[in-house]
Amino acid sequence: MQEIKYKLSSLFLFFTMFLMFSCSDTQETGNLSDDGSRELSEVELNGRKVYRTYCLACHQKDGSGVRNMYPPVRESDWVEGDVKRLVDLIVNGLSGPIVVNGEEYNGVMPAQDYLTDDQIAAVLTYMRLNMGNKASEVTTEEVNRIRQEL
Ligand code: HEC
């Protein structure tokens, strides 16, 4: 009996510690912008979720990319640039030589055309307002209009 109690309490302890660790992880990322200066909007939070689910594997969590393989989306002249070009490369993918911040890349980005207009607007808004980029938000209507023209 004593032994079962002991086992149960260590299980309980383990579970509590597990909870504490998983909570501290969400606190670490928090709901703050990259530079910690403000709370992320609802749209940016959605965008961050899209980014971490579909883009992080190649472009990395902080957007710095992988040298000679995956270009950075952090402080990127592409991310800060033309919205039509951005929607196009997400919907249709991108391949062939490109120059990002003066460095050449020649890889293949697969099309991410399963994303909804909402998700594309959110991920672009998140990226253009964070990761060292300073550009305007992108609305769902804008993505919808551009997508029909592609
Ligand atoms: C399988 C890897 C991969 C995934 C996943 C991926 N990309 Fe890319 N991305 C690339 C590569 C490779 C290029 C450069 C293509 C070339 O060289 O022509 C690129 C280029 C870009 C560029 C233009 C250049 C720059 O660095 O600013 C943007 C913006 C971009 N990706 C955004 C995204 C977004 C947003 C997602 C998620 C919805 C995403 N990518 C998912 C591999 C990936």
CB of 55 sitting under 6 A from ligand 1: yes
Contacts of residue 111, defined as CB under 8 A and 6 or more positions apart, other chains included, come to 90, 91, 92, 93
Ligand 1 atom 36, closest CA: 55
Q: What is the per-residue pLDDT for 36?
A: 86
Q: How far is CA 78 from CA 75, 83, 89, 104, in A?
A: 9, 9, 11, 13
CB of 101 sitting under 6 A from ligand 1: no
CB of 95 sitting under 6 A from ligand 1: yes
Tell which wins on pLDDT, 59 or 1.
59
pTM: 0.84
H-helix or E-strand spanning residue 48: helix 42-54
Q: What's the average model confidence in pLDDT over 83-104?
A: 97
